Amino acid sequence: QSALTQPASVSGSPGQSITISCTGTSSDVGGYNYVSWYQQHPGKAPKLMIYEVNNRPSGVSNRFSGSKSGNTASLTISGLQAEDEADYYCSSYTSSSTPSWVFGGGTKLTVL
Amino acid sequence: QLQLQESGPGLVKPSETLSLTCTVSGGSISSSSHYWGWIRQPPGKGLEWIGHIYYSGTPYYNPSLKSRVTMSVDTSKNQFSLKLSSVTAADTAVYYCARSSSGGDYFDYWGQGTLVTVSS
C-alpha cells in the first residue's frame, strides 16, 4: 500500500490561484470517486476541505475546489489568503489489497 | 457539535502495547451509520491511516499494521479504542481519532490528537 504522490511544496501570492496534485493508480484515485483533501495548520488536527473528489463540507470556502482526471486528483485554491498557508493532504480509498485507505505525503503551501 | 477526545499514556516502552481511547460527545457512537477511525502522524511527517471500525461491524486495518492492531467499540461508554502491540520507536507519533463518513471514505470530525512516544 503506497502513499499517494503529492508535490512537497507549492507557493503563491495573495489573490493568486494554486493547484496541488495527488497522483495514484487505477486501484485508488483512478478507480474510485473517493478522494478527499485535508488542511492542517501547525500543531492542529487536519480539517476536511473536499470529499468525494469535488464536494465541499458546509462551512468550507468556495475558494477551495477539487477535481480528478485519470489517476490524478487536484485541489485548487483560488484567491489565496494568508490563512491558507498550511499543509494539505489528499486521501483515497484503495483496493490494492484488502479494502483500505491511503494518504498522500502532504504538500506545504506557502503564501508569499 | 460532535467532539472527539483521545486519552491514554503518552509514553510506552518498546515491545509493549500502546492503548488509546477516544471518547465521543455530542452524539451517539451507535446511533448513526458512521465509522470511527484512527490516524497517526510521526513528528514532522505525513498522515497514516491505521484503521476504522463500525460500532457493530468488521474493522478495517492498514495492511502494514494489521498484525499488530486491534480496534474495539464500547457503546455503553460512547468510546472506541486502539491497541497496537510490539511497539518500536517507529510508532512514535501523534495519534488522532476521527469520525468517518457512512461509506468510510473521508473523516469529517477529528480529535485534537495525542502524542505517544515509544522509549525506554
Higher pLDDT, A37 or B32: A37
Strand partners, A21: A74
Cβ–Cβ under 8 Å, residues B47 and A46:
yes
Say if residue A1's pLDDT is above 70: no
Closest CB to B63 among A3, A100, A105? A100
Output DSSP code: residue A37.
Answer: E
> Closest-CA residue in chain A for B48?
A103
CA distance A80 to chain B (A): 23
Q: What is the pLDDT of residue B104?
A: 76
Q: Give burial (CB, 10 Å; 0-12/13-18/19+) of B5.
A: middle
Q: What is the pLDDT of residue B109?
A: 95
Say if residue A31's pLDDT is above 90: yes
> Closest-CA residue in chain B for A56?
B108
Residuewise pLDDT in 10s, chain B (120 residues):
999 999 999 999 999 999 999 999 999 998 778 899 999 999 999 999 999 998 787 899 999 999 999 999 999 999 999 999 999 999 999 999 999 987 778 999 999 999 999 999
Contact B101 A47 (CB under 8 A): no
Chain B residues whose CB is inside 8 A of the A59 CB are none
Q: How confident is the model at residue A14 (pLDDT cuts 50, 70, 90)?
A: very high
Chain B residues whose CB is inside 8 A of the A91 CB are 47, 49, 106
Q: What's the per-residue H, E or C state across B51-92?
A: EEEECCCCCEECCCCCCCEEEEEECCCCEEEEEECCCCHHHC
Report percent pLDDT > 70 for chain A.
98
- What values do phi and psi take at A86, rounded to 5? -175, 180
Say if residue A42's pLDDT is above 90: yes
Closest CB to A45 among B62, B101, B110? B110
* Interval A62-94: pLDDT, tens: 999 999 999 999 999 999 999 999 999 999 998
Chain B residues whose CB is inside 8 A of the A52 CB are 105-106
Rounded distance between C-alpha atoms, residue B90 and residue B115, angstroms: 13
Q: What is the pLDDT of residue B10?
A: 96
Closest CB to B63 among A1, A32, A106? A1
